[in-house]
Amino acid sequence: MQFINEVVDILDLLYQHGWDERNGGNLSYILTSEEVKSLENQNQIIRTFTYDFDMSELIGKYFVITGTGTYFKNMKKAPEVNLGIVKVVDKNNLGLVWGYKDGGRPTSETPTHLRCHIERLKKDQKHRLVIHCHTTNIICMTHICPLESDYFTEKLWKMQTESIVVFPEGVGVLPWMLCGGNEIGIETAKLMKEYRSVIWAQHGLFCTGTSLDEVFGLIETIEKAAEIYMKICDKKILQSISNDNLKEITKAFNIKYRNGIID
């Protein structure tokens, strides 16, 4: 399946960048109708996974989801072990139609992913993808910066010209919370009503979008800005991108940016 190969390639790139060590990070990807047609047994449910939240808005959709405890470095060697394709069969159950060959199950962050998909689909019907990864410099920033969405947004926008072009809506930020639970999933999904990217303090980044390339590029751009920040934050700054410069960029590229930060 070509789409599995494409997912595996992105997961391997995330690992190679150092953003998904050990079993860190996860991905969920909505299949198109054409991709679903390519499945040999799309309606044959191998096993089911039950969750205690309402997935009604996703019923009938198929997802590729990374397995819990799986290592991204092993994806290319054994995709059918480390990945699964599941169908939302009713409001509380996912049905496995392919993968998790060793008896595995979807990532523990699956409820957070699905909550984010629900919110992003309300904003963009072309939305398809959620990736969570442990971007090093973003994590560093959460140790030394105020955990405020507008603060992070302004800092990241001003690190490089491309930032406001790639994520004009900014980034959302959450304080440290226990991962894998309901609370962090609910709070992340709330921020996804406004942002495509949410930072988890001392943990990493959640990014969403319409394609593998788009989301990987979003992660790269945010993390590059954070890397620049960490390299210069203790230096004497002689010149930088001003608010007027940022407005000039958005005017040139006809971009609608988040109000209230540089205005």
Active site positions, annotated: 109
Which CB contacts under 8 angstroms, 24+ apart, belong to 249-256? 249/161, 249/164, 249/165, 250/164, 250/168, 253/165, 255/164, 255/165, 255/168, 256/168
User: Distance between CA 84 and CA 66 in Å, rounded?
Assistant: 6
| Cross-strand partners of 187 | none
* 75-79, long-range: CB < 8 A, 24+ apart: 75/8, 75/11, 75/12, 75/15, 76/8, 76/12, 79/4, 79/8
Cβ burial of 139 (10 Å; 0-12, 13-18, 19+) is buried
